Structure 1
Amino acid sequence: MIIELRTYTLRIATTRDFVARYAAEGRDVQVEHLGEPALYAVSDIGDQNQVIHAWRYRDFADRDARRAALEADPRWLAYKRRSLADDHVQQQSTAILREVDFAALTATTGAKA
């Protein structure tokens, strides 16, 4: 398995609006093509104004196919145009990580804090 980790650094005081637009307009179509994210979070301590999300794929071919389908979906393209027009994102970084057998991300329920 591979994990695609994306970090968006946003302009100060735009995180709430960025996340709200994504929740209202982008999330459903992205999940339809990519599946549920392994992580979707905002920074709290440390670097601020960041949205971090991670997507799990079987391999690069799986990633390429799913992302191509997403990028061909007119609903996603419309969301991206509106989101880009908001001009919230200052920087994006993307990393591809390989899971190791003993520490693979797994969906858990009822995790204790």
Structure 2
Amino acid sequence: MVIDERTYTCLPGKAKNFLEVYQRLAKPIQWPILGDPIGFFVTEIGELNQVVHMWRYESMADREQRRAKLATAAGWGDYLDAATPFLLKMENRILVPTAFSPMK
């Protein structure tokens, strides 16, 4: 199993706009392809204006296949065009559980 952790830093005051666009345009496309996320969060303390979401995949090959399908899905480009003006920075990390991790 691998966890894909994505952090989007929004322009100050634009996280709400980004989330509205995501919920309206991306969620109906992304969730059926990637599966339900582990979680979707906003920051309250620390670096602000961030949206963090995490996705579980069986393997890197599973992730690559699902992400490729998402990239070509009808409407995905419309979401990207609508969402990116609200973003300052995008980060992505792949997390692999340790042998003793409760989540495997």
Flag whether TM exceeds 0.5 (same fold): yes
Indicate the residue corresponding to 1:111 in structure 2.
none
Percent of pairs identical after alignment?
32
Instruction: Give the SS at the match of 2:6.
Output: strand
Aligned residue pairs, count: 103
The one-letter code of the counterpart of 2:41 is A
| SS of structure 1 residue aligned to 2:37 | coil
Runs ≥4 residues deviating over 6 A: none
Unmatched 5+ stretches in structure 1: 106-113
User: Matches of 1:69 and 1:10 in 2, distance apart?
Assistant: 26
- Give 1:103's aligned amino acid: P
1:74-113 → structure 2 map (5 Å cutoff): 74-84=74-84, 87-100=85-98, 101-104=100-103
Distance in 1 separating the partners of 2:45 and 2:6? 18
5+ residue gaps, structure 2: none
Distance apart, 1:103 and its partner CA: 2.1
- 1:10 corresponds to which residue? 10
Q: Which moved more, 1:14-23 or 1:92-101?
A: 92-101
TM-score by length of 2: 0.93
Name the Cα RMSD after superposition.
1.2
